[in-house]
Structure 1
Amino acid sequence: MNGGSWNGEICLCPNGFTGDRCQNRVPTVACQNGGMWDGLKCQCTSLFHGPRCEEVVDSIEIDNTVSATVEVSVTVTNHNYSEELQNKTSKEFKEFNKTFTEQMEHIYDGIPEYEGVVINSLRKGSIVVDYDVILKAKYTDKYESVLQNVSSTVREKIENATKYYIVTNNSCPESLCFNSSATNVQNTSWILNSSMFPSEQCQKQAGEEYAKYVFLESKDNKLQCVTACSTGYKTPWTATMANANCSRSGPQCICLTTDTHWYSGETCDRGIQKSLVYGLVGAGVAVLLVILVVLSVFSMRFRREAKRQTFKVSQMQKWNEEEGKTPGAVHNVGFDHNEEGENYVHLDSMYSNFEGLPTPYKP
């Protein structure tokens, strides 16, 4: 009821409802990061945990293995072929299969990746057995080379066994003896025991909204889905938690500010010393003060010089006014003060020298 959903065991109730059918109202509880309230607690996605799904998990383990099959053919010489062996439900086939499987376990003992054998066919001559050796290993980036080495060990063991378990003097040291020259180890093939690669599994478990925040990492021979908030991994993308906290709205780093540093960057890996910043700021302020002082000195000198020039001009204007001269007019000071030159002849003096002389005769 009330928008609840059945998960196969219980009803997952939306916020505000509880009960075995989500029929009872309760105070609304806000589950974060895609969590769903089941009436009692927040059901968190695989990437988050906490009372409100507010914390990011450190990692998600991926149990992913790789299987390999090695195709082998051997010839059993101390048993006779019969048509009943073609029927895998017959008593003869079941008995032969049990004997063959037990002896193969003994032959391949010591191979950790060995999972068993599967008989594909039985043919005449005496009994030609075509079977697969099943190998299984943990997924790593180098899984192909690991399984290739294991396949080489499988070849070595079966070839040695078929050379040792042979009929001698009409007796066989084991339940089955072989024709050593007829042993044939063929193709090796391997497949992931999952429909998707581990990195894709990480993204699926994180959900579409947070898929971009998770990536694959290996630790203690186990594959882990980790985020930038995870610690203790080799990847350079994981945050140093001494410098960061993890966002409660998703696996993102929130950089810290300590007494000595400011931290920044996607994973808070870039630290700046406060003392260095304060020193640079102090030096900048000091340089700025020096520049202001120099400018102030030049400004004062400029103002004093401007006042001095203004005073000179006003004095000249005052003198001109006292002498009856129009300020701004052009005056020849030499003429104004009758300052004659050396070659100047005053006409009045010249005329005075001729006064008293007789008047010239006129006929």
Structure 2
Amino acid sequence: MGGKRRREGGVTCQVVTFYGNVCYQISALSFAVNCLNGGYWSGAMCVCPNGFSGDRCQNRVPVVDCQNGGTWDGLKCQCTGLFYGPRCEEVMESVEIKPTVSASVEVSVTVTNQEYSNELQDQNSTEFRKFNETFTKQMAIIYAGIPEYEGVIIKNLSKGSIVVDYDVILKAQYTPGFDSTLDNIVSNLETKIKNATTIQVQDANNTCSALLCFNSTATRVETNVTVVSDNLEEMCKKEAGEDFAKYVTLGLKDNRWYCVTPCSSGYSTSKNCSYGKCQLQRSGPRCLCLSTDTHWYSGENCDWGIQKSLVYGLVGAGVAVLLVILVILAVFSIHYRRDAQRQKSRVSEMYRWGEEEGRASPGTFHNIGFEHNEEQENDISLDSVYSNFQPSLSHINPEGKIQIQRPQVVMTSL
């Protein structure tokens, strides 16, 4: 806890902070803590590398993979401008950029209170450095009140007392109407330098109250202005990184410039995800469709919806129809099995009756299923036999007895 004082070993010291049970304090000498595992002492705490934590970086923790160009600062991932999240895994919808425009205006003035010398041609000479320092101070006073003023650069010094050709450097934030703004800046600049060179002149005694005095009639301001602006597209692509650069463009909203993606809303390049959320992935922008209490949405732009109640109704009707079909099939199956069982029982009783009475004469039973060739015997199923088995009992007299004549054996001589 900062601000408290503690007496240690008879010496009163200012307590800076506590780490665990250790007190670090300001004294005549700075006592740096021995940070472990590659950590370093910042003057107040150990800054630990990725994978370690604790007051001395003694605790091993899972390594955090900072994505999309993010870097580990000892506590968290420091993300680049277009990304955010614990691992810099999320893409921001848009990022405002403040592009600047640099302009140079050519001006020429004549200094009358100093004499020209050849040493002024050497920009490394003492004479040139002294003159440049004085001239720079004087111009800063003259151009005071112009926010865009950045300084002056002397291009050439020549005879005529000292004729100074120099550039006035201007720097301003770029806006859509910057051209007209720049015209106003140059006009203001011209007014200030001409007023100054008219006032700051030598008096009758050839003395000058300012650092430098000028020839009031020799001041000249060029109307041609050189403008150098930032490449905004390149700035955005640099912010986005290699993986997302091709999806980032420049957008203008409320006279402000933004690096935008197809997932940024309110721009001509915005992707329309009707009932969904746009997410920029490495493969490109994609619509993640929503699911509400009443609808499911799908499609490339999440513009196709289906009512949940309709789906539930169709599924319920389908299940009901399927159940009816299953019931019908079960009834037919049970009926068929019972009928087949009855047929088998009848056939078994007929055979049993014939075996008990010893009556098995041709013509007693007529079975269509047994009228087949011997070669086809193994090909006929039992069901086929039973289905074609038709007992014929109409011409049988159950009271009569069947007389079977025994065959006579005739012996012949050879």
What TM-score do the two structures reach when normalised by structure 2? 0.49
Counterpart of 1:141 in structure 2: which amino acid? Answer: P
**What aligned pairs does 1:259-274 form with structure 2 within 5 A after superposition?**
none
Q: 1:180 matched to which residue of 2?
A: 216
Query: C-alpha separation between the residues in 2 aligned to 1:71 and 1:243?
Result: 57
Shift of 1:112: 0.8
Q: Which structure features the higher share of strand residues?
A: 2
User: Cα distance 1:180–1:258, how it changes in 2: closer, same or farther (>3 A)?
Assistant: farther
Shift of 1:155: 1.4
Q: 2:250 matched to which residue of 1?
A: 216
1:206 equivalent in alignment to 2:240: yes
Query: C-alpha separation between the residues in 1 aligned to 2:74 and 2:212?
Result: 64
Shift of 1:150: 1.4
1:235 equivalent in alignment to 2:267: yes
Shift of 1:143: 3.2
Pick aligned residue for 2:228 from 191, 212, 231? 191
Deviations 1:50-108 (A, max 9, x none): 24544212333435322111011001112211222222233322222122111111111
What are the ranges of 5 or more consecutive residues in structure 2 without an aligned counterpart?
A: 1-48, 53-60, 311-414
> Residue 181 of structure 1: SS of its match in structure 2?
coil
| Contact 2:263–2:280, Cα closer than 8 Å, also in 1 | no
Shift of 1:259: 5.8
Q: 1:162 matched to which residue of 2?
A: 197
User: Cα distance 1:257–1:111, how it changes in 2: closer, same or farther (>3 A)?
Assistant: farther
Counterpart of 1:90 in structure 2: which amino acid? Answer: S
Deviations 1:92-140 (A, max 9, x none): 2222212211111111111111000111111111110011100011223
Query: C-alpha separation between the residues in 1 aligned to 2:185 and 2:253?
Result: 22
Q: 2:103 matched to which residue of 1?
A: 68
User: Cα distance 1:235–1:100, how it changes in 2: closer, same or farther (>3 A)?
Assistant: same
Shift of 1:207: 3.6
Query: C-alpha separation between the residues in 1 aligned to 2:98 and 2:305?
Result: 43
Q: 2:141 matched to which residue of 1?
A: 106
| Contact 1:107–1:157, Cα closer than 8 Å, also in 2 | yes
Query: C-alpha separation between the residues in 2 aligned to 1:39 and 1:111?
Result: 43
1:47 equivalent in alignment to 2:47: no
| Contact 1:114–1:133, Cα closer than 8 Å, also in 2 | yes
Counterpart of 1:247 in structure 2: which amino acid? Answer: Q
| Contact 2:69–2:241, Cα closer than 8 Å, also in 1 | no
1:254 equivalent in alignment to 2:281: no
| Contact 1:56–1:246, Cα closer than 8 Å, also in 2 | no
Query: C-alpha separation between the residues in 2 aligned to 1:132 and 1:174?
Result: 21
| Contact 1:81–1:123, Cα closer than 8 Å, also in 2 | yes
Counterpart of 1:87 in structure 2: which amino acid? Answer: D
Shift of 1:241: 9.8
Counterpart of 2:135 in structure 1: which amino acid? Answer: F
Query: C-alpha separation between the residues in 1 aligned to 2:69 and 2:95?
Result: 17
Shift of 1:255: 4.8
**What aligned pairs does 1:1-363 form with structure 2 within 5 A after superposition?**
47-170=82-205, 171-186=207-222, 187-192=224-229, 194=230, 197-218=231-252, 223-230=257-264, 235-238=267-270, 244-247=276-279, 249=281, 251-256=285-290, 258=292
Q: 1:358 matched to which residue of 2?
A: none
Query: C-alpha separation between the residues in 2 aligned to 1:173 and 1:209?
Result: 62
Amino-acid identity (%)? 56
Query: C-alpha separation between the residues in 1 aligned to 2:141 and 2:299?
Result: 57
What are the ranges of 5 or more consecutive residues in structure 1 without an aligned counterpart?
A: 1-11, 20-25, 279-363
Counterpart of 2:142 in structure 1: which amino acid? Answer: I
Deviations 1:335-358 (A, max 9, x none): xxxxxxxxxxxxxxxxxxxxxxxx
Shift of 1:204: 3.5
Query: C-alpha separation between the residues in 2 aligned to 1:93 and 1:28?
Result: 57
Query: C-alpha separation between the residues in 1 aligned to 2:196 and 2:154?
Result: 18
